Amino acid sequence: MLFLKREPSWRTLNNNWSPFEELSRMRRDMERLTDGITRGFTRGAGAGVFPLMNLTEDSDAYYLRAELPGIKPGEIELSVTGDSVSISGERKIAEEASDAKYHRRERESGKFSRVLNLPGPVDVEKVEASNVDGVLTIKLPKSEAAKPRQITIK
């Protein structure tokens, strides 16, 4: 939903009303409107909290995904309440041979914890999670009440 915030009209009428002011206000409103259409979703490292996540939906469920390479499914703790998902765990990088001399060390280890709010309520009982090739997918079926319904007109 998009809300246009309007400046109270008394101000524009009262003191320094000018057609230019009015034009620029209209332009700002237009920009906000088109912005909302073209950028319906955010891009980039939004919250800046590990792990970065992508969220999609279809009519039945939300799908939350995160890239967690090298983390075993058992090392991820996941809990879901009505409309929020909490994920935490630790990425461990195994100790290699004692005589190993590192040329490069770019992969990082450490703990993570993130809570994410969903756009709507989900059916907690039916949540499924899978970890394939280091990509965690959480399927969160929408609760019955929140699902879109086709209504036939008699």
Partner 1 sequence: MTESEAKALQAREKAEISGMTEQTKPGLVFTPDVDIFETEKGLTLLADMPGVKAANLNIDLRDNVLTLDGEASVPEGDGETELFAEYRTGKYYRQFNLSEMIDQTKIEATMTDGVLRLILPKVEAAKPRRITIN
Contact pick of 80, 85, 91, 122 for partner 1 (by CB under 8 A): 91
Contacts of 28 by beta carbon, 8 Å cutoff, 6+ apart: none
Q: How far is CA 83 from CA 17, 91, 119, in A?
A: 46, 26, 7
List the interface residues with partner 1, window 22-81 (CB under 8 A): 41-59, 62-63, 65-72
Contacts of 17 by beta carbon, 8 Å cutoff, 6+ apart: none
117 binds partner 1 (CB under 8 A): no
- If the CB atoms of residues 107 and 149 are measured against partner 1, the closer one turns out to be 107
Q: How far is the CB of 154 from partner 1 (least distance, A)?
A: 29
Binds partner 1 (CB under 8 A): choice among 1, 37, 100, 153: 100
Q: How far is the CB of 145 from partner 1 (least distance, A)?
A: 19
SS3 call for 57: strand
User: Can you tell me which of 112, 124, 141, 146 binds partner 1, judged by CB under 8 A?
Assistant: 112
Among 8, 9, 14, 104, binds partner 1 (CB under 8 A): 104
Site for partner 1 in 120-149 (CB under 8 A): 131-135, 137
Three-class DSSP category at 90:
strand
CA distance 104 to 102: 6
Judged by CB under 8 A, does residue 1 bind partner 1? no
Closest C-alpha to 132, from 90, 91, 73? 73
List the one residue out of 40, 32, 39 whose CA is nearest residue 3.
32
Tokens describing residue 66:
């995160």
Q: Which residues bind partner 1 (CB under 8 A)?
A: 41-59, 62-63, 65-72, 90-93, 95-97, 99-113, 119, 131-135, 137
